[in-house]
């Protein structure tokens, strides 16, 4: 049944408000049927030319998870060195991935030049396939939040190293590494805001007009 506009917008607004990037997870797994539901929600995303370029890969093998954790550690070390300035101490205190405790890890790729969609809509803007995949990630994130499941997006990773670790075709471009599980806590405020790293800006809630 299609919900009324009032019901739908109120529910959606709550999901938007409480969706968080989660880095602290409880150990219990999410059941397989629920994970399948999240994948189905992700795959309802819009895509350029109906190309559906996303590929969601569940990273289950401990050896591959260890390899991704090592890639993250090395990228984090490099980022810390680059930030030798005044915010390095605060940066070092941030937890920027739930790789040690998230029960599920999902790598998301975008197929470059997919046959599906027959090239429609991306001739002038080839990145639209990646944007379509990001929309699928966002659907996944919101669908998870609606069920009280946390998702943390990890991008402090070297894309080619992840692609090789997960042994996927060269035509698959790495887009996101998601830590998934039940969050330790819920909040309506981003963790980076709570820790004093950055603040949401009023200007971003206003139109730019020309
Ligand atoms: C493309 C993208 C990449 C991100 N990469 C990371 C990351 O590597 N580590 C991290 O802790 N958070 C990462 N985040 C989460 C952001 O820090 C987070 O969305 C932002 O602080 C706002 O918080 P909220 O998502 O809870 O509203 C990423 C988010 C996006 C959209």
Position 63 scores a pLDDT of 98
Mutate to test the pocket of ligand 1, among 105, 153, 185 (most ligand atoms within 8 A of CB): 153
Q: Which residue has the tokens 């998301």?
A: 108
Q: How far is the CA of 16 from the centre of ligand 1 (A)?
A: 15
Cα torsion angle, 69, 73, 79, 80, sign = positive
Domain range summary for the chain, segments of one domain joined by +:
21-183
197 CA: nearest ligand 1 atom: 21
Torsions phi, psi of 58, nearest 5? Answer: -85, 120
Taking CB atoms and a 6 Å cutoff, what residues make up the pocket around ligand 1? 20-21, 23, 96-97, 153-156, 190, 192
How many C-beta atoms surround the C-beta of residue 19 within 10 A? Answer: 18
- Residue 167's pLDDT is 98
In terms of CATH architecture, what is 21-183? 3-Layer(aba) Sandwich (3.40)
- Residue 72 CA to ligand 1 centre (angstroms): 15
Centre of ligand 1 to C-alpha 200, Å, is 13
CA of 186 to the centre of ligand 1 (A): 16
Q: Which element (helix H / strand E) includes 40?
A: helix 32-42
In the block, residue with structure tokens 């030798």: 84
Give the pLDDT confidence score for residue 2 in this predicted structure.
74
Q: What does R_g of the chain's alpha carbons equal in angstroms?
A: 18
Q: Per-residue confidence of the chain (210 residues) as pLDDT tens digits?
A: 777 888 899 999 999 999 999 999 999 999 999 999 999 999 999 999 999 999 999 999 999 999 999 999 999 999 999 988 778 889 999 999 999 999 999 999 999 999 999 999 999 999 999 999 999 999 999 999 999 999 999 999 999 999 999 999 999 999 999 999 999 999 999 999 999 999 999 999 999 999
């Amino acid at each position: 049944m299609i919900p009324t506009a009032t019901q739908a917008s109120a529910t959606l607004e709550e999901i938007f408000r409480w969706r968080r990037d989660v880095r602290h997870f409880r150990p219990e797994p999410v059941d397989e049927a629920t994970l399948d539901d999240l994948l189905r929600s992700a795959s309802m995303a819009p895509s350029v030319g109906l190309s559906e370029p996303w590929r969601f890969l569940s990273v289950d093998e401990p050896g591959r998870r260890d390899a991704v954790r090592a890639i993250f550690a090395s990228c984090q070390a490099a980022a810390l060195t680059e930030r030798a300035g005044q915010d390095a101490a605060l940066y070092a205190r941030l937890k920027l991935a739930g790789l040690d405790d998230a029960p599920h890890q999902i790598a998301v790729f975008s197929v470059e030049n997919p046959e599906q969609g027959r090239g429609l809509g991306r001739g002038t803007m080839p990145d639209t396939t990646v944007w379509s995949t990001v929309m699928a990630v966002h659907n996944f994130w919101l669908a998870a939040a609606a069920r009280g499941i946390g998702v943390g997006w990890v991008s402090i990773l070297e894309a080619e190293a992840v692609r090789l670790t997960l042994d996927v075709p060269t035509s698959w471009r790495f887009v996101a590494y998601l830590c998934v599980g039940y969050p330790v806590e819920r909040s309506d405020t981003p963790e980076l805001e709570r820790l004093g790293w950055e603040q949401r800006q009023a200007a971003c809630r206003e139109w730019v007009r020309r």
